[in-house]
Structure 1
């Protein structure tokens, strides 16, 4: 499948693609939310009013011409006036998404703004977040209060007792901001269920950004043998599967697979995970990168793991909704509460933020055949394994366990199996 060049897609096709992703991800309802794009002519393309978000087609989109003329077979969204107000207040914004994703609605109801310093990429993707006081949906007043917030230079706004609205330089940019902001809000809510979230300083977030391996030397010659191409297909399929299952979001997630010896293939930086293609994946050979591509920030760590652990042939580093609750609080996830989880993962230790940066040894000194996964505080979960599918299975088991534990925390004290029962599991399943 050829990579989508959304800049060449008609606005109505872009909107159809993104509203479908939002709806199928459970971030809006059949009747809720709206999306628009303003084109180079100043015409605004917008979703229709009262049409099922699960069945929208390009022909359903409405065009509001620059002169105010409305074209299309439906009525435009009743809230399109505030889209127009945003475009007038911020000409550099070319796309707007408004919806009622559950976690962000929770923040709007308690009248708070999520602190994006809880995750490094959240602050950089979302930027500062504004807050719009309540106004009647579809009213001119709502357009005014939202536009006033955007005039302050923010690209995301919490709407009091309503939802959220984000803008972007294009629709992909807006969607990534929307998705990342909701993930951040969900992480904070889950974190508060099991403990108290911790936050990063601006200096720590800047240090995270500095991990992009821009200076990794480039190869002079690249070979794409059949085995190498097969690995690209594996990585692409797992990344897309992770996105479909909510185990990876567009702004974060890394997968790598050993190719031969200590050479491997790894996902890139700054490519939307849901649209990753074979040509995006980066070959790392003899410490050099495939020309013209920037691999994941965590490339150094993946390289060192392959060098030091011959049994590891695949690595996934990602953010998942419930494991991140343990990441941002620093609470230890006790997989001894579920026998199958302990068999797959044994204990999952927490690592300090920055443990995955180049030159740091703590993760490398912790991983082993009996410790295949670690949680990196305020960042991610890292899972290692042999075959990529098996590594992905471990990730799924860890996330399902984290979900059960987080939900169970609201019911009462979590009671793990005892040491004797753990030893019985060790003898039967681990020899």
Structure 2
């Protein structure tokens, strides 16, 4: 029952644009002190109850499903706060943008206090240090915490109440910073049918609904290179100066997109074959000055994931610019991500 409820909640959060398909994790503590948690490396919008993983509070994996790599802070929170029954960690663009503001900047301190948010110092995802930082940021008065250059995490007794709290805070942040003029560019239209079909047509329609694409999306299979490619024209990229775009805002953006290659010229469809020759194992995203991007992926979902995170990264950057001065991950933090994950 818990896994079914958790999967539906993740579906709903995704439909609301409050997380990406590869970002975030969610868990519930069962009565027998077993933690039911979302898995690693599975499209969050299409989680099924049988996809969830189970852990003991000691961190012992129960069953074959691999838990989210960020399970350590879930377990740390359950151990420190015995009264809570659920932990929700997601990447809403407004929260993520707020998490980029310098911790020492009066803007972040003041805004965090205004929204009754705790603040957790950055640490690499999945690390014990991240668990320590997150736990220290919570107390009896704080139930939602900003994770520096990462996202938001909330705890509570009831999952539906925790999610509602995040949604209310998200709206409060949008209103306070007057973000409507930016977010209106990316409003979703209607409700997308989340019945999963692993076909190019399915992902093309999904992109038209959830992403700020301006063109008809066409995913192409490159059998010679054993890759899938797509050229997309993103409204988010078009609104952002090329020099302002960076994947170094949060770990998810860098790990999914690496360091794209920027082209200080307009996209030309006639030159796609030449553009593809620039790709290698470390670089598979080209960004052009007119808001176009050319992307390669190893599968249809991998390609869609990159499209989504590219759009998300541009949106977050636009929002952060509106909020004030913000910080990217440092060179040493990027190196740490490379050494651990790439």
TM-score by length of 1: 0.39
Q: Which structure has more RCO (C-alpha within 8 Å, separation ≥ 6)?
A: 2
Which structure: larger Rg? Answer: 1
